Structure 1
């Protein structure tokens, strides 16, 4: 599959746990079909422990003949801006996203590249993911997303139709639609919508190929007026760009806005229910 080489793209910031980063990088290196290059963006100053992990893994990637590029932001710029910076350094057309605390199944990229070879017009391919907290051997959930194009389109007006940490995309398409835009919490979702509305084919594999590290207490970070304002801003953006009809906008604000204001102990339960609708 040497005709379908790809770049790996990751961003890491100071609060990442060194042991999770190390395992995430090893899961990239141990792919059955590893990347031709790997671009890692340091989003601001990192701890010595994180720098040590990166240095060690950098050497291992290079020994495996994988070009390893380190970029550094002088200050924390956020995920979207960091990924845009890293994307510019990628020299391959196919770019695979990897998160700094997730574990990738060895066959993830083999299956993904096989899809691109069979469907060369596809712009984005994602996968299903497991979610785990303390122990990846005991995931507490599977986050499923639609597989075929029509169901992806249908879901895209309600919620994110891709698992960001699982996607591989064509760099030229992402560049064409403007790359990641700084819309906190929604950088990836907004990007996928722009690709979809540019009429590019997109898909998800039915396979579950990433184990995503999720803090089960994350619900405490996803509620309140602060996040409600971000939600409303994003929904207004979608109406402005013609991605949502007014009726869809009102439905989203009613459901998603209400969720943002729920007590944290109810938020996780409802979150799991809504995403399986």
Structure 2
């Protein structure tokens, strides 16, 4: 007998690009969400401000050949605003997020949609990531996040509980929480905090869903006074909204001060790879 066809929920997938994205990496990222075992019913590309000619050629090609929906901003507004634009224009209730230089595993959406069908109460469905340098076969680490709702919410009080490039969102809850908003390098974490206050239900699945490109620049982006001030400001917001206690606020800010503001990039990179990540299989 032939296998019964599964009627998966229709969903949108969104991927953004901006001037500093590598055109070849962007193409690999786009094709990894197009060539899925369960294809998106809609792919949205957000173009955040002016982009170089070679990158724009890729965007135009994907619009022509794959019917991608292109949403362009006249100026660079940041990743959070690009995601907000996609949420506002998406046709479907479920929206999958993807980054411009990472690679989704071929059955990522199939796995997430099966969970969504079994548990329609979940508002965010994320998963694990494996980090690589140059080639996905060169895995240097894995960021593991908690699985069940209560564990995700407990983890959220300390750190961001999702790998944002893996998530599948219920758009009605995202909009109920005020959609993505601008918050330097923390737009996703801020959204999850606001969704928490609205009663959202969270989960991560144990499988690796995305291979994430890493390097020295990533550790630079996760450090410096501007990054620390953004994180400290978010911790204060969480304190004011009773997500964390005052002692936890002090502890969280102190750790971030040491790691993000005072620590040199090379040591921060070592800490992330050796202490904050599990070792990948090379």
Superposition TM-score tier, normalisation by shorter sequence: over 0.9
For residues 111-260 of structure 1, the aligned pairs below 5 Å read: 111-260=111-260
- Confirm or deny: 8 A CA contact 2:130 2:208 kept in the other structure: yes
- Is the partner of 2:56 in helix, strand or coil? helix
* 1:217–1:43 Cα change, 3 Å: closer
Deviation at 1:139, TM superposition (A): 1.2
* Separation (CA, whole Å) in 2 of partners of 1:219 and 1:104: 22
Match of 1:73 in 2: 73
Deviation at 1:274, TM superposition (A): 5.2
Match of 2:31 in 1: 26
Aligned residues: 272
Deviation at 1:110, TM superposition (A): 0.3
Deviation at 1:234, TM superposition (A): 1.6
1:103 aligns with 2:103: yes
Deviation at 1:228, TM superposition (A): 2.2
* Separation (CA, whole Å) in 1 of partners of 2:8 and 2:113: 10
- Is the partner of 2:190 in helix, strand or coil? helix
TM-score by length of 1: 0.94
- Is the partner of 1:4 in helix, strand or coil? coil
Match of 2:94 in 1: 94
1:69-99 Cα deviation digits (max 9, x unpaired)? 1011101000111111111110100000011
* Separation (CA, whole Å) in 2 of partners of 1:5 and 1:274: 39
Match of 1:65 in 2: none
Deviating more after overlay: 103-112 vs 212-221: 212-221
* Separation (CA, whole Å) in 2 of partners of 1:257 and 1:54: 39
Deviation at 1:3, TM superposition (A): 4.8
For residue 45 of structure 1, the aligned residue among 37, 46, 50 is 50
* Separation (CA, whole Å) in 2 of partners of 1:50 and 1:2: 35
* Separation (CA, whole Å) in 2 of partners of 1:171 and 1:54: 25
Match of 2:3 in 1: none
* Separation (CA, whole Å) in 2 of partners of 1:233 and 1:76: 23
- Confirm or deny: 8 A CA contact 1:133 1:216 kept in the other structure: no
Deviation at 1:276, TM superposition (A): 5.3
- Confirm or deny: 8 A CA contact 1:231 1:257 kept in the other structure: no
* Separation (CA, whole Å) in 1 of partners of 2:139 and 2:107: 19
Deviating more after overlay: 104-113 vs 49-58: 49-58
* Separation (CA, whole Å) in 2 of partners of 1:273 and 1:123: 32
1:265 aligns with 2:266: yes
Gaps of 5+ in 1: 63-67
- Is the partner of 1:72 in helix, strand or coil? strand
- Confirm or deny: 8 A CA contact 2:8 2:113 kept in the other structure: no
* Separation (CA, whole Å) in 2 of partners of 1:247 and 1:15: 40
Deviation at 1:273, TM superposition (A): 5.0
1:235-271 Cα deviation digits (max 9, x unpaired)? 1121122222111101101111111111112112223
- Is the partner of 1:35 in helix, strand or coil? coil
RMSD: 1.5
